[in-house]
Amino acid sequence: SENGYDLWLRYKKVANNSLLQAYRQQLNSILASGNSPTMDIVRKELQTGLNGLLATTVAQRTTPQPGTLIAGTPQNEPLLRNAAITGQLKKAGNEGFIITTTTINNIPTTVIAANTDIGVLYGTFHLLRLLQTEQPITKLNIVSAPRIRLRMLNHWDNLDRTVERGYAGFSIWNWHTLPDYIDPRYIDYARANASIGINATVLTNVNANATVLTKPYLEKVKALADVFRPYGIRVFLTARFSAPMETGGLKTADPLDPAVQQWWQQKVKEIYQYIPDFGGFLVKANSEGQPGPQDYHRTHADGANMLADAVAPFKGIVIWRAFVYSHTNPLDRHTQAYDEFTPLDGEFRKNVMLQVKNGPIDFMPREPFHPLFGAMPKTPLMMEFQVTQEYLGQATNLVYLAPLFKEVLESNTGNDYTVAQVIDGTARHDSLTGIAGVANIGNDINWCGHPFAQANWYALGRLAWDHELSSASIANEWLRMTFTNNQHFVDTAAAMMLQSRDIYVQFTNPLGLHHIMGTGHHYGPAPWVNDQRRPEWNPVYYHKADSIGVGFDRTTTGSNALAQYQPKARQQWEDLQTCPDAYLLWFHHVPWNYKMRSGRSLWNELCYQYYTGAARTAALQQTWNKLQAYVDQQRFHEVAMLLGIEHKEAIWWRNACLLYFQTFSRQPIPARYEQPS
Ligand code: GCU
């Protein structure tokens, strides 16, 4: 059945018959002789992939013939030790690969070559993708290497298998049956990640307790690390800062206390005995009530460096999160991370990275990029995106996130380089580089809840490998692999995906509104909530609607958060007259009768946006219904029902928000926007 379990690795027979014949001829056998667990996976993947796609049995050979696919490294395959190949491999680095149509000993072949076995595996998935997406392969000359070193998933999974902000079932890590039972799903997980270049995973929630650092759990972690290793995936764990007290019996977790330092050094040694290639720690400290170095009047750098020193002898790293805020900074939560971290630039050890969320608030449907990306030139900054759709309709809404990721990556920091150039290290010559995505994976049959949510996992991996890929090309290849190569289907569904995030913004948080969703669960509208105990959790704190207007003044007359951006970046936002509509209410408190670029008053524009957004969800339903003939019925109906939910919710958002804001604007909703729905 088409239940979505296979993700984008379905390997169905190529539908285009002339291409099928050509592929069969050009790839009639496999020669991959390298001897390692990774090369075993290469052979198996080529066999499963080619046998499925070409509906044939592809022979394994030890000497090449016309039409043999040769896969390997110059070390493990003597046939690849020729100057043309080794020359090209200089550009492939440790994880990259080349795929070329060439002759070896005068025999026409296709070659996948790399400097390492894992590079060969990445090349294998790339070649299979060309077939899955029905690309010509007669004159291949591909060199591909990742632009970013750490391409990582962050699981917010708890040991009881609940997933914080997870909408696709329970955690796929079955701690109860580990380490002795290896769920085949762990292997499928690793394979799916390898197919898109993801090479690191944090198994535990940033809010986790210290239990995972105890011996019985380290044995379980080791079992997972052993499964992932041949797929090129390194395991990381979250480290709760107070672990020395909770599991070590110490009286303090002060990072400058020698007993605490020693406890961590011992713990790290123990971890590396189980997992020799352990990646390191991800730490959430002094944020949302989590313990941290500030509890002892130490800095984030003191805390990070203490852990960094412990992992350094093993080449481990520490990823310290910049997501910090507290209720003691009630003026503007926007400014806290920058204020806490910029004074520490240059004070972190070389094996520390600072992981910064894409925006300064919290994964809102649209945020300006985080001002830290334009600062801290001496600290490697890692991007944290959210793949799970906490604030983007969770798993019931079709929201394709590549346009959100790209919007952030392409933003100019104001220093004449983009956020992407900070993240990939080219702007500042960082040697540690990384992108993390908070995973949307759970034990639902289809992994991600919404069939289209798989595209967000896919896009995260593809953009981490190459952030210059376009949202459209990623949507296109994902659709072809996941559904069908039918051109009409692909064009139509890609258009749906490419507008989906804009539609979501329009019916929930148009014009720069943000954080007006239900508090706690973060689902659906609740702009009216006003709980005095935690002002920075309340929608009213963010929209600031009153009889004059709506929006958060972050200019010099307000919180002045804009001052944290480089002058060239803040220029685009600071003047109400020139600020783009998309960020207007993010940075300005705007009168209800303010005349917008459209010619409408702000109030009428708000009505227009909410009504248009909701109407566009109805259009998504109609478009999808016309695609029924092109997709299997199981996934067709699943998506159709989910689009129905999204449409209902759009009306809920529209009505709730407009009726609430109307109590301030005291103006009617223009009749012409009220389409029947
Ligand atoms: C959001 C999310 C929390 C999470 C936090 C974080 O606020 O709602 O569940 O713990 O981000 O990133 O640490």
Q: What is the mean pLDDT of residues 159-187?
A: 98
Residue 74's φ and ψ, nearest 5 degrees, are -55, -25
Model confidence at 531, pLDDT cuts 50, 70, 90, reads confident
Is 461:469 a contact under the CB 8 Å cutoff? no
Model confidence at 329, pLDDT cuts 50, 70, 90, reads low
* Ligand 1 near 206 CB (within 6 A): yes
Distance (Å, whole) CA 75 – CA 85: 12
CA 206 to ligand 1: nearest atom: 13
Best mutation site among 323, 326, 384 for ligand 1, i.e. most ligand atoms within 8 A of its Cβ?
A: 323
CA 207 to ligand 1: nearest atom: 10
In this prediction, residue 582 carries a pLDDT of: 98
pLDDT in tens, 597-624: 999 999 999 999 999 999 999 999 999 9
Distance (Å, whole) CA 616 – CA 651: 11
In this prediction, residue 1 carries a pLDDT of: 75
> Considering the entire predicted model, what is its pTM?
0.98
Active site residue 531: no
Model confidence at 193, pLDDT cuts 50, 70, 90, reads very high
> Does the pLDDT of residue 430 top 90, yes or no?
no
Query: How would you classify the pairing of strands 317-321 and 141-144?
Result: unpaired
In this prediction, residue 441 carries a pLDDT of: 98
> Does the pLDDT of residue 16 top 50, yes or no?
yes
CA 438 to ligand 1: nearest atom: 12
In this prediction, residue 330 carries a pLDDT of: 65
Q: Any residues with CB less than 8 A from the CB of 607 and at least 6 apart, and which?
A: 658, 669, 670, 673
In this prediction, residue 677 carries a pLDDT of: 47
Best mutation site among 165, 283, 287, 394 for ligand 1, i.e. most ligand atoms within 8 A of its Cβ?
A: 165
Among candidates 57, 52, 48, which has minimal Cα distance to 12?
A: 52
Distance (Å, whole) CA 354 – CA 372: 10
Q: What is the mean pLDDT of residues 412-435?
A: 95
Would the CA dihedral through 435, 438, 443, 447 be positive or negative?
A: negative
> Does the pLDDT of residue 38 top 80, yes or no?
yes
Q: What is the mean pLDDT of residues 133-140?
A: 98
* Ligand 1 near 333 CB (within 6 A): no
Active site residue 581: no
Active site residue 638: no
Q: What percent of the chain has pLDDT over 70?
A: 99
What ipTM score was computed for the predicted complex, to two decimals? Answer: 0.99
pLDDT in tens, 113-124: 999 999 999 999
Domain 507-673 has CATH 3.90.1330.10: yes
* Ligand 1 near 362 CB (within 6 A): yes
- The arrangement of secondary structure in 17-144, i.e. its CATH architecture, is 2-Layer Sandwich (3.30)
Q: Any residues with CB less than 8 A from the CB of 22 and at least 6 apart, and which?
A: 137, 138
Residue 228's CB is within 10 A of a number of other CB atoms, namely 23
In this prediction, residue 671 carries a pLDDT of: 84
Among candidates 122, 41, 118, which has minimal Cα distance to 466?
A: 122
* Ligand 1 near 515 CB (within 6 A): no
Domain boundaries, the chain: 17-144, 150-470, 507-673
Specify the residue with its C-alpha closest to ligand 1, atom 10.
Answer: 207
To the nearest whole number, what is the mean pLDDT of the chain?
97
Distance (Å, whole) CA 264 – CA 243: 9
Domain 150-470 top-level CATH class: alpha beta
Distance (Å, whole) CA 561 – CA 74: 54
Q: Which of 95, 384, 390, 444 is catalytic?
A: 390
Q: How far is the CA of 593 from the centre of ligand 1 (A)?
A: 36
Specify the residue with its C-alpha closest to ligand 1, atom 1.
Answer: 362
